[in-house]
Amino acid sequence: MLEAKNQLSRLVKAALAGEEVIIVSHGQPRVRLVPCSESPGLRHCGALSGGIKEKERSLIEAAFSVEADHAAQQLMEG
């Protein structure tokens, strides 16, 4: 569980990429990370072909930053 906490960003990226991510505690599977369902506006092929705006790009990058990992770790530690 501690390892998963320290690797949360990497695990989320893996789940978003389609990998099966299961978090185990004391040898028992406890949690499966899966992407949320898609937005109805993105269900057709090429929905993002025009790219994403710089504002959205910076928000995405911030969500997977070292600082975000540190903040998440602090929240989990209490």
Dump pLDDT digits (tens) for 25-69: 888 889 999 888 765 555 566 666 666 677 777 777 777 878 878
* pTM (whole model) above 0.75: no
* Cβ–Cβ < 8 Å for 8, 75: no
Burial of 12 from C-beta contacts in 10 A (0-12 / 13-18 / 19+): middle
Query: What is residue 21's predicted lDDT score, i.e. its pLDDT?
Result: 93
